[in-house]
């Protein structure tokens, strides 16, 4: 396992009790962070890893329907299996409509001998705002 900085739930680098940058101490947390980084990033955001990211912003302006759900699932599966960090683990992705304007993407990932890792990401579709702009 590589040595990774520990990120808080807000995405900030955490500090240890002695004031140093905190490090991730187990593979489960490391994989959780790696998955979230990929889900909340667009391709091209990281110069050192230009292919990393899910591009969920592509969903903005899309209608809330089954096709959009399948696209969301595809984008997440592609992002998490693109490189060797998470590609070898069992993965299930489910898109769940939350409202006319948002979709939740649940990711079920089994890493090591711990319980299944469940990650949820909400994505605003912004389709109402987009439609209003078209009509203006």
The reply to whether 129 falls in a domain is yes
CA 74-47-73 angle, to 5 degrees, is: 10
Dist CA 59 CA 94 (whole Å): 15
Contact between 5 and 16 under an 8 Å Cβ cutoff? The reply is no
Dist CA 77 CA 56 (whole Å): 11
The reply to whether 115 falls in a domain is yes
Dist CA 104 CA 24 (whole Å): 27
**Residue 112 belongs to domain spanning:** 27-135
Gyration radius of the chain over CA positions: 17
Q: List, for residues 79-123, the tens digit of each pLDDT value.
A: 999 888 888 888 899 999 999 899 999 999 887 676 677 888 999
The reply to whether 22 falls in a domain is no
The reply to whether 5 falls in a domain is no
Q: Indicate yes or no: pTM above 0.75.
A: yes
CATH number for 126: 3.10.450.40
Q: List, for residues 15-67, the tens digit of each pLDDT value.
A: 888 888 888 777 777 888 888 889 988 999 988 889 999 999 999 999 999 99
Dist CA 43 CA 87 (whole Å): 17
Q: How many domains does the chain have?
A: 1
Output the DSSP codes for 26-68: SHHHHHHHHHHHHHT--TTS-SSSTT----GGGGTT--SSHHH
Alpha carbon dihedral 96, 59, 50, 39, in 10-degree steps, equals: -20
């Amino acid at each position: 396992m590589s040595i990774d900085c520990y990120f808080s739930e807000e995405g900030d680098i955490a500090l240890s009790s002695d004031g140093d940058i905190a490090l991730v101490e187990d593979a489960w947390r490391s994989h959780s962070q790696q998955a979230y980084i990929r889900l909340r990033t667009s391709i091209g955001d990281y110069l050192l890893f230009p292919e990393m990211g899910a591009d969920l912003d592509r969903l903005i302006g899309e209608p809330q329907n089954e096709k959009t759900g399948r696209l969301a699932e595809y984008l997440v599966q592609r992002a998490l299996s693109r490189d060797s960090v998470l590609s070898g683990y069992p993965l299930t992705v489910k898109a769940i409509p939350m409202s006319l304007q948002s979709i939740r993407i649940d990711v079920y990932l089994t890493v090591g001998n711990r319980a299944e890792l469940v990650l949820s990401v909400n994505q605003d579709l912004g389709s109402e705002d987009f439609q209003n702009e078209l009509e203006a």
